[in-house]
Chain A
Amino acid sequence: MFEALSDRLSGALEKLTGKGALTEADISTALREVRVALLEADVSLPVARGFIKRVEEAAQGRHVVKSVTPGQQVVKIVHDELVKVLAGEDEEPGRLRIDNPPATIMMVGLQGSGKTTTTAKLAKRLKEREGKRVLMASLDTRRPAAMEQLAVLGTQIGVDTLPIQPGQTAVQIAKRAKTQANLGGYDVVMLDTAGRLSIDDELMAEVEAVRDETRPRETLLVVDGLTGQDAVSTAENFDGRIGITGCVLTRMDGDGRGGAALSMRAVTGKPIKFVGLGEKMDALEEFHPERVAGRILGMGDIVSLVEKAQEQIEAAEAERMMKRFQKGRFDMNDMKAQFDQMLKLGGMQGIMGMLPGMGKLSKQLDESGFDDRIIRRQIAIIQSMTKAERKNPDLMQASRKKRVAAGAGLEVQDVNKLIKMHRQMADMMKKMGKMGKKGLMRGALSQMFGKGGMPPGVAAPGAGPALPPGGFPGLGAGKGPALPPGLGGLSGLSKKK
């Protein structure tokens, strides 16, 4: 049923053709399907409705990437929006506020949501990753053997648990845990409360009492990742009465679509801190919004398709430039485009980092003082030229150079360096153009590999203009190492990851 969703979506969306901006009709057709997708993924109805509205606003008039259908484009927008909502402002999903010891963490939730297991997993994580001394205490006086369960888990993971004293109330145990933590020098106290229904007045009052007694730094609501529409009432009631600071989604290793995640985020506005991914004690991870977003939509393929289409456009652009170069045309505009491309790919360091075997080179780069600032400076120089000068750099005479240098805030010699560099590059382009396409690739590749030590097959063939080895002479004080050739090709290469 879920697998069929992508098919159905593409079926419904294929009919939509049209270039340019998204029309209202495109959006509403696509969103109707998305809404069903969300509901089938157990996103709560009010949340799904609100979310669709957001997307509708975001999608209005958005540009459609060539070679995908508008519907697919909408899905991409939906995906991005979903990631945004899921991520929220929580920059560090795995962090808990557990400074100034002993910090109390209280775990709450419905019966069978996985509180006890999550408590133990979290304790293990805190102990092993952050080197905290953790004390666990079970306040579950109701379910048979719940306390024993936590005690057994404690022994398994090597975390202390509060000794069991039968007959105590939850508040009494919490108090005892607090005292014990103070005396024993623990960093963190974890309180595992009994499972309760969010409408059970008596039991909710009990948690409130525990909260008032212990003033927890974190109150985590543990929610079954398979939860359906009920996620909203659970989240609302728990947050309303106790005031939670975050959620943990369990059972995310199941084949549920995890729509509860979106509901939780939307209703409480509190971050999802962790997800439980199995029964083993280390199966707890911080929350990754992208993964859950793809899962909720069940159409990761479309999202990657749109991304690929965007890449293709860049590849087409590169192809066009390549043709120009072959004809021996390479002006300042082209050069600026190359620089821009480089910056877009994360600058020199970024490009080097993406290429295997370039680690050493990038160190050399550092030493030679070749960094992105130099690229930006070159761009500034080009931008200080008039249109005519950019088209035809031969126009540049001394007075013009002076003006350009002043405009860029640099010296005339910098302008000279750029012009020299441009000439060399243009010559190289012309030479390669004469070799013809096949010859060019072969020639360029052999040169490249001779110098850069890259394994063959790294550069995407035919995808871009190969820059001459030796790259931008004049950059990096003359001893600049070989630039990765084929910047246009790199754009394709680097995005394929």
Chain B
Amino acid sequence: MSFFKKMKERLFKSSSKLDEGLEALVEEGGTAEPEAPAAPQPPAPARAEAPADTADASSGAPDEAPAPPPAPVSSPASAAAPAPESRPGFIARAFGTKPGEVKRVLDDAMLESLEEVLIQADMGVETSIKLSARLAEGHFGRRVGTREIKEALAREIAAILTPVARPLPIYAKRPQVVLVVGVNGSGKTTTIGKLASQLRGAGKSVVIAAGDTFRAAAVEQLQVWGSRAGVPVMTAPQGSDPASLAFDAMVRAEAEGADMLLIDTAGRLQNRQDLMEELAKIVRVIRKKDPQAPHNTVLVLDATTGQNALSQVEIFRKIADVSGLVMTKLDGTAKGGVLVALADRFGLPIHAIGVGESIDDLAPFDPDEFARALTGFGD
């Protein structure tokens, strides 16, 4: 399970920003919660005499005006006026008192900032608003800590993602045809290499068709992956019709009795109608041979992609009946939050995630893990 550990480690790394964002958010306007309802050190009159006494900061009263605030120190009223300059958590620690968790009332301003933190994870404006609204339910007006927010967020995100976390379904049908599509540079070829290796490891006989007959050296690239995975690769010369290659590959896979046929395609931007028409033709030709095929059409998405991923899914699904998603490059600084938006909007299964360049860097999609990594909860 080494790759799983690796993925986890990388996922956490990738999400550190969001994590920081959340913590900063709470600390910015929050105050430390005293352990006991009655604050131990600072009785109100003492504070009036020595307004600069730092001890009062730890009590959560931001008001340093000479008039002694009559309100009890831990009342919500005092928390409503936050004092960012008092950095309560830090001071409490410096004084050696046991620091209470930093908390802050969940108000409109905080919700808005929360939305922004989510937007920064590429979740999109719509989904971010939705998520923070859901968080507001049951939490609004209450004092919440970072941990609590993270946990609640992770729960909400996982709730959205759990229904779509399904591995690539394996059918009894032989050969099962898997068509891999996506925009340029999203990682289709690499994903096919990894997928072939995994399927082969699971005891399946696999054939790959190098359908990217457009890009220079794409076929050679796939051949290298094929030899790494120990899987035969069917090729056609550069510039030939990918649809006919797909057809030939199906004939051959059937003749050889292969379990799985993975068909690579050239990268294409979804707004290029000519290229999308070419893709539609590939699907049509495949269906001539087997009306059920392609049994799976996998759209490969780049984690660094922003809101354009929505448009990619929408159009590829329309043209090629995309049946599932794979997200690549999640080992970088990109958080892949757009997956949440995608799951929310389209509900397409997410089969796997790419977390590196070596052949076993394709991990199953674990919604809880992903959600927790995204929010930084649980570490």
What is A's interface to B at a CB cutoff of 8 Å?
1, 36, 39-42, 44-45, 110-114, 142-146, 148-153, 156, 197-199, 224, 226-231, 233-234, 237, 251, 253-257, 259-260, 279
* A251 touching B125 in the complex, CB below 8 Å, given contacts A45-B116, A152-B216, A199-B13: no
Q: How many A-B residue pairs have CB under 8 A?
A: 146
Which residues from 14 to 41 on chain B have a C-beta closer than 8 Å to any C-beta of chain A? Answer: 17
Enumerate 30 A-B pairs (CB-CB under 8 Å) in ascending A order.
A40-B307, A45-B119, A111-B185, A112-B329, A114-B184, A143-B221, A146-B221, A148-B217, A149-B216, A152-B217, A153-B216, A198-B332, A226-B302, A226-B306, A227-B305, A228-B305, A228-B308, A228-B338, A229-B334, A229-B337, A230-B304, A230-B334, A233-B334, A234-B304, A251-B185, A254-B269, A254-B271, A256-B306, A260-B306, A279-B214
Bound-state CA distance A3–B175 (Å) is 42
Q: B145 interface residue, CB < 8 Å from A?
A: no
Which residues from 290 to 318 on chain B have a C-beta closer than 8 Å to any C-beta of chain A? Answer: 302-311
Q: B220 interface residue, CB < 8 Å from A?
A: yes
Residues of B within 8 A of A44 (CB): 120
Residues of B within 8 A of A148 (CB): 216-217, 220
Bound-state CA distance A17–B221 (Å) is 61
Q: B197 interface residue, CB < 8 Å from A?
A: no
Question: Closest Cβ of chain A: how far from B334's Cβ, in Å?
Answer: 4
Q: B289 interface residue, CB < 8 Å from A?
A: no
Residues of A within 8 A of B308 (CB): 42, 226, 228, 254-257
Residues of A within 8 A of B186 (CB): 112
Q: B77 interface residue, CB < 8 Å from A?
A: no
Q: Which of A45, A111, A145 contacts B329 (CB 8 A)?
A: A111
Are B333 and A42 in contact (CB-based, < 8 A)? Answer: no
Bound-state CA distance A150–B221 (Å) is 12
* A251 touching B119 in the complex, CB below 8 Å, given contacts A149-B217, A230-B332, A260-B306: no
Residues of A within 8 A of B183 (CB): 226, 251, 254
List of 5 A-B pairs having minimum Cβ-Cβ separation, nearest first: A228-B306, A112-B185, A144-B224, A42-B306, A149-B217
Residues of B within 8 A of A152 (CB): 216-217, 238
Bound-state CA distance A257–B308 (Å) is 8
Residues of A within 8 A of B223 (CB): 144-145
Are A198 and B333 in contact (CB-based, < 8 A)? Answer: yes
* A42 touching B307 in the complex, CB below 8 Å, given contacts A142-B357, A149-B221, A229-B121: yes
Residues of A within 8 A of B271 (CB): 253-255
Are A40 and B120 in contact (CB-based, < 8 A)? Answer: no
* A254 touching B270 in the complex, CB below 8 Å, given contacts A111-B187, A111-B329, A226-B308: yes
Q: Which of A111, A199, A226 contacts B333 (CB 8 A)?
A: A199
Are A255 and B304 in contact (CB-based, < 8 A)? Answer: no
Residues of B within 8 A of A45 (CB): 116, 119-120
Q: B12 interface residue, CB < 8 Å from A?
A: no
Residues of B within 8 A of A226 (CB): 183, 302, 305-306, 308
Which residues from 149 to 186 on chain B have a C-beta closer than 8 Å to any C-beta of chain A? Answer: 183-186
Q: Which of B185, B216, B270 contacts A114 (CB 8 A)?
A: B185
Bound-state CA distance A226–B220 (Å) is 27
Are A145 and B220 in contact (CB-based, < 8 A)? Answer: yes
Bound-state CA distance A192–B22 (Å) is 38
Residues of A within 8 A of B215 (CB): 149, 279
Bound-state CA distance A279–B272 (Å) is 11
Residues of B within 8 A of A224 (CB): 185, 302, 304-305
Residues of A within 8 A of B332 (CB): 110, 197-199, 230
Residues of A within 8 A of B217 (CB): 145-146, 148-149, 151-152
Interface string of B266-289 (1 = CB under 8 A from A): 000111100000000000000000
Which residues from 225 to 268 on chain B have a C-beta closer than 8 Å to any C-beta of chain A? Answer: 225, 238
Q: Which of B120, B187, B338 contacts A112 (CB 8 A)?
A: B187
Residues of B within 8 A of A41 (CB): 307
